[in-house]
Structure 1
């Protein structure tokens, strides 16, 4: 993949997760070039892709700006190629957590495989209900190696990703499996829905910037409370023969 394509994807994630907000300017081309350690020409190519997709627009002499989304529904279209943590996807809304379970234990075989750890390496076992504007959003079951960072109940009331980010651990890659299922008793009770109601499940293994797996999670979403989108960009050859 060309560098400008990677920069395009990175800025796009920041736009879709509200790091760069609608109507606000992007950093200057000079600043972006410094951030990505590249030339302004490469940045221009990345911005051209974003502009062609309708995510940004330019103003003569003022730079590039994030375009407002066209409908209210777009606010609920959450990108699948970006972190799915509620804090990332709903930064401009009231986010709260209800901690259901928190303990440390030894991992089972599935957890050992996904986290690339041994059977004697302890993990954190975390179950939380996430709420957006006091509305049930998801049930998260997260497994993390205990060696990754010290956790406590106060930390789990907020964003785990923000906490890890402050310790130099960033989610850079993830493997996700999506499927639909019916809510079991635990899910129904946690999300205040009927047993057997349809839920969307996202099973994720998250990797940090060094390629180490630091999270294996299974998140369940109420079927009519969340909508996800995956934008596909096809890279055409620069020269057609």
Structure 2
């Protein structure tokens, strides 16, 4: 990966995790070029990518600011355009997990294709309910190659992304998401305390790290009462 894309991914993660807060100034270019040991030209390429996504904006004579995102006073809006987990989308609230199933097995054909792995490469299969302020929020079914990092149920009680970032230096930088509505099957209904056939909102996702490797294939399902999502759109040019 080009160095400027690595810097872009690093700053983007710091923005999304609130290290650089909305409405505040980014560190100066002098500080950032020293931090990343790159030229101003390389840094400028990274900042241009962030500006194109609408994450930052520059004010002449003032500096570069983190762009405020849509107001979310309820804390229940999950951004569809940003690959982050519940821990960060609801970072000011109590987040917990109920692990329903955890094991390792060989991948099926769809999992091999989505994760770009061979049939002989084992994967973790994880099923857990995510709770926000002790209320059931989503039911996650996750497949992850065993080679990514060692996992156990204690780790699954918290943020897997935090663990991967600390232990394996894996950063979630990109994702392909497919969203759709469907009726709850027996498994989903049991996990979320719903009636079979009750409406749910699903996000099917392939997550990629900073090197472009697929490290997670998951389907998360949300109840209709808590299915509030936001998609910010930024146009950086006119057609």
* TM band (smaller chain): 0.7 to 0.9
Q: 2:164 is paired with a residue of what secondary structure?
A: helix
Task: Kindly indicate whether the alpha-carbon contact (under 8 Å) linking 1:13 and 1:82 is maintained by their aligned counterparts in 2.
Answer: no
Q: Which residue of 1 aligns with 2:135?
A: 135
Q: Which residue of 1 aligns with 2:160?
A: 160
Q: Does 1:170 align with 2:164?
A: no
Q: 2:216 is paired with a residue of what secondary structure?
A: strand
Displacement of 1:235: 2.6
- Structure number with the bigger relative contact order (C-alpha 8 A, sep ≥ 6) is 2
After superposition, residues 142-157 of structure 1 pair within 5 angstroms as 142-157=142-157
Distance across 1 between alignment mates of 2:72 and 2:87: 22
Q: Could you tell me the TM-score, scaled by structure 2's length?
A: 0.79
After superposition, residues 29-108 of structure 1 pair within 5 angstroms as 29-34=29-34, 37=38, 39=40, 42=44, 64=65, 67=68, 70=71, 72-73=73-74, 75-108=75-108
Q: Could you tell me the TM-score, scaled by structure 1's length?
A: 0.79
Displacement of 1:72: 1.8
Residues 6 and 152 of structure 1, relative CA distance in 2, 3 Å threshold: closer
Distance across 2 between alignment mates of 1:47 and 1:114: 26
Q: Work out the number of aligned pairs and report it.
A: 234
Deviation track 1:141-160 (CA, whole Å, cap 9, x = no partner) reads 00011111111111111111
Q: 2:162 is paired with a residue of what secondary structure?
A: helix
Q: Which residue of 1 aligns with 2:189?
A: 188
Q: 2:226 is paired with a residue of what secondary structure?
A: coil
Unaligned 5+ runs, structure 1: none
> Which deviates the most, 76-85 or 16-25?
16-25
Task: Kindly indicate whether the alpha-carbon contact (under 8 Å) linking 2:123 and 2:145 is maintained by their aligned counterparts in 1.
Answer: yes
Unaligned 5+ runs, structure 2: none
Residues 5 and 230 of structure 1, relative CA distance in 2, 3 Å threshold: farther
Distance across 2 between alignment mates of 1:212 and 1:22: 29
